[in-house]
A = this chain, B = another copy of it.
C-alpha cells in the first residue's frame, strides 16, 4: 500500500496552503511520493510563479532588464519562507538556483525557456522538503534526473522514455517522503525538457506507474469532478466514480480538472486515480478506475465544447463512387486539417472540424479542390457549431438515452444540427449552434440529473 500524491499550484500557493498539505501528508503514512507544482495563484488577480518565470526567460532572451521579475519571483518564495519561519539556508539555495538561470546557454531559446520554467517546480520542491523536515516530517527532495525521468528532446512536449520506469521503480527503496518536482524530465544528453499542458499531473502519473503505487491522488481546489460545468449548470452533481474512458470522453469536450492524457501512464498500470480537494480533504472526491461496478445511472456527465464548423458536401450518387470519401479526406490531409467527425446522408456528407484550423487561405484551397477534383454539386461551410457530449458506460445498449436527450432539446426548441451515435459505446454527441450551447447543456443535464 503506497500512494503517489500530487498537489496543484493553488494547493501550494502560500504558507497557509502548505500547512494544509503538511497535514494531509502527515495523516496518512502511505503517502510516500509527493509531486509538487510551482506556487500558483493565491487570489484571482495573483500571478503564477511559472508565468513570472516565462517573463523572466523572455526578458533574458530579449536582452532586456530582468531584475523586476527576479525580485517578484524571490518575493513569492521569501514570503512563504518567512510565514513558515524557514531557515535562511533554503532561500540561499533558491537564490543561487535562480541566478544560475541567468548564466545558462541560450543558443536554443525553446530549451532555455524550458529550463527557466521548470525551476518553479524544482525550487518549490526544495522548499517544501525543507519545510516538512523542519516540521518533523522526514522528507527528501529528489530531482527528476536522480528519479530517472528520462524524456524525449521535445521542449514543451516531452515524452517519457520506456527505460525510465526501471530506474523509477528503485525509488521504492528510499525511506521517508520523497518530494519530486513535477512538469519536467531530462533528455538523454542531460538537458531539461518540460511536459505539455498538465505537466505535473504527467509526472505524478509516471511515478505512480514506475513505483506501482496503489493509488494516485491528485489534490486540487475542487471537491470532485462535476457532472457538468459548474459555470453553466448551477451546483451540478459530484461524480463519485468515473472510468478512464468516461474521463477521456468528457475531457474531449474541453471539460476536465486535468488533461486526460496525463492519466495514461497510471491507466496503463491500472492504478486508480483519486481527485481530492486540498481545502476540504475529508470530501470523498472522485475516483477514476478502469472498471466501474454498479452503474446506478447510465449517464455520468455531460460536457460541451464550441469552436467547430462543418464542411458540407453534396454530390449525387457519391456513395457509388469508390474512393470519393478517401479523396475528400486526402484534400483535408494535404491542408494538414484534423477532422473530428464525418456524418453523412445520401449524396451528402459533412466534415466536422475545429474552426481555428480553417484560415481563409486553407478554406479557399479546400473549397476549390473539392469543387474541381470531385466535381461536387454543392459545398458550403457551416460555422459556429458546438458539440454536446452525453457520457456514461451505462448507456451502451440502454434504450432511451438518445430519446431523452433529444426530447429535452426539442422541448427547449433547440435544433439538433448533427448527431453522432454509433461508434462510441459510452457517449452520444449532439451538434448544436454555438448560441444554443449553454441552454442545450442545461436542459440535457436537467433531463438526466434533476
Contact = CB atoms under 8 A, between A and B. Distances in A.
Contacts of A337: 322
Interface stretch (A36-44, A51-59, A164-172, A344-352): A344-352
Nearest to A248: B346
Nearest to A329: B326
Contacts of A375: none
Best-buried of A330, A342, A349 by chain B (most CB within 10 Å): A342
A431 B422 contact: yes
Chain A interface: which size bin? 35 or more
A407 B403 CA distance: 5
Interface stretch (A90-98, A150-158, A412-420): A412-420
A425 B418 CA distance: 10
Contacts of A312: 423
Contacts of A409: 399, 403
Given A322-B336, A400-B410, A406-B402, A348 B423 contact: yes
B343 A423 contact: yes
Contacts of A410: 399-400, 402-404
Contacts of A68: none
Q: What secondary structure prevails in chain A residues at the interface with B?
A: mixed
Contact of A341 (B320, B344, B347, B424): B344
Contacts of A338: 319-320, 322
A346 B421 contact: no
A342 B332 CA distance: 16
A312 to B, nearest CB: 7
Given A345-B420, A402-B406, A422-B431, A339 B319 contact: yes
A325 interface: yes
- List the 8 closest pairs (A to B, CB-CB), nearest first: A345-B424, A343-B422, A418-B422, A400-B410, A326-B329, A403-B406, A348-B423, A345-B423
A333 interface: yes
Given A319-B339, A342-B325, A407-B403, A422 B413 contact: no
Contacts of A347: 248
A252 interface: yes
A337 B336 CA distance: 26
A423 B325 CA distance: 14
A340 interface: yes
A238 to B, nearest CB: 23
Given A323-B329, A344-B422, 14 more contacts: A313-B423, A314-B423, A319-B338, A323-B333, A325-B339, A329-B329, A342-B342, A345-B423, A345-B424, A348-B424, A350-B423, A397-B415, A403-B403, A403-B409
A114 interface: no
Contacts of A339: 319, 325
A424 B346 CA distance: 7
Given A410-B403, A422-B431, A423-B348, A326 B330 contact: yes
A201 interface: no
Given A423-B350, A424-B348, A416 B399 contact: yes
Contacts of A341: 343-344, 422
Contacts of A199: none
A218 interface: no
A242 B328 CA distance: 31
A121 interface: no
A364 to B, nearest CB: 20
B349 A423 contact: yes
Contacts of A346: 248-249, 252, 424, 427
A242 B326 CA distance: 33
Contacts of A406: 400, 402-403, 406-407
A397 B249 CA distance: 27
A87 B348 CA distance: 55
28 contacts: A248-B347, A252-B346, A261-B317, A310-B422, A314-B423, A319-B339, A322-B336, A340-B344, A343-B422, A344-B422, A345-B420, A345-B423, A345-B426, A345-B427, A345-B429, A349-B423, A350-B422, A350-B423, A352-B422, A399-B410, A400-B410, A402-B402, A403-B406, A403-B407, A406-B406, A417-B422, A419-B420, A419-B422
